[in-house]
Amino acid sequence: MKTRLNLASTPLQNNRRFLASSVLIGGFGIVALALLAMHAIQGWHSNEQLRKETAALESRNSNLERQQQELASFFQNPQIREDIDRSAFLNGIIEQRSFPWTKIFMDLEETLPAGVRVISIAPSLQNGRVEVKLVVGALSDESELKFLKALQESKVFSGVQVKQENHPLQAPNSQDRVLLELSAWYSTT
């Protein structure tokens, strides 16, 4: 007969199930880590072209910023500033000289009713738009109102503002009973 005798201070335990499950879970972890690493490497390779394009755009951007700084310092030169101001002044004179006088007189002729005449006209260029200041004489209040209505309905005049209206005493060589000062925006197109 055999007797089993255990002289150990603690009884013997079987850890085989724990070791097997640990190896299995560790194996799954290693496989998951390998899959994630492959996915990261593929993502890095697929973004390589994008990184190259980004680097090229950043290089181009820095070159353009450098050129912009060079141009800004060039235009800060007092001599260049003086030339720019002179050219702006000359361009303003050219624009004033190239005002379409014939066209504005034809447009005014279409809007002027009987009994109204233009005494003075002063066009000026403001922010790329033409403002026309007019002094108009009218024989009566009725003809003045017809003129204002025709001017407001006109396609070439807009923003009509009456600045001043006078009813002067009758001058010997003038038939005008009403003098009207107004301004309007004129479309040259």
Query: Which helix (H) or strand (E) element contains residue 87?
Result: helix 78-97
Answer yes or no: is 6 within a domain.
Answer: no
Look at residue 84 in the predicted model and tell me its pLDDT.
85
Could you give the strand order of the β-sheet that contains 116-126, starting from the edge strand earlier in sequence?
116-126, 129-138, 178-186, 157-166
DSSP assigned state of 132: E
Report the CATH number that the domain containing residue 125 is assigned in CATH: 3.30.1360.100
pTM of the model: 0.48
Look at residue 31 in the predicted model and tell me its pLDDT.
96
Condensed to tens digits (0 to 9), the pLDDT of residues 99-120 reads 777 888 888 888 888 888 888 8
Answer yes or no: is 29 within a domain.
Answer: yes
Answer yes or no: is 176 within a domain.
Answer: yes
**Which amino acid would we find at residue 138?**
A
Domain count for the chain? 2
C-alpha 119/C-alpha 147 separation (Å) is 14
Of 38, 60, 76, the last residue of a domain is 76
Q: Give me the domain span that covers residue 149.
A: 100-186
Answer yes or no: is 4 within a domain.
Answer: no
Answer yes or no: is 2 within a domain.
Answer: no
